[in-house]
Amino acid sequence: MHAISLEYLRNHFDEAVAMAEVGELIITRDSGSNLVLLSESDWRTLQEIAHLFSTPLNADRLQLSLQTSRANAQNKTDVT
């Protein structure tokens, strides 16, 4: 993750876009909150994750599924 000033962004926009294609880019500002520039693909992924965890029931199911998957992977490693 990289961070640049808003002034740097103004003067080096193409470079900032290239940096954001690799990973998120924090844009710091003297006044107001910082901003984040990221690829559309990364943004869509974050939106999907937020949606999947938006209800407690769905979040619980996902956590249980993840725990089961990890346990199964560990069991396969132990057997080998």
Q: Residue 13's Cα: distance from chain center in Å?
A: 22
Give yes or no for a contact between 28 and 5, defined as CB atoms under 8 angstroms apart.
yes
Q: What is the pLDDT of residue 7?
A: 93
The hierarchical CATH code for the domain 2-38 is 3.40.1620.10
pLDDT, tens digit (0-9, with 9 covering 90-100), for 41-74:
999 999 999 999 999 999 999 999 999 999 998 8
C-alpha–C-alpha distance, residues 38 and 51, integer Å: 19
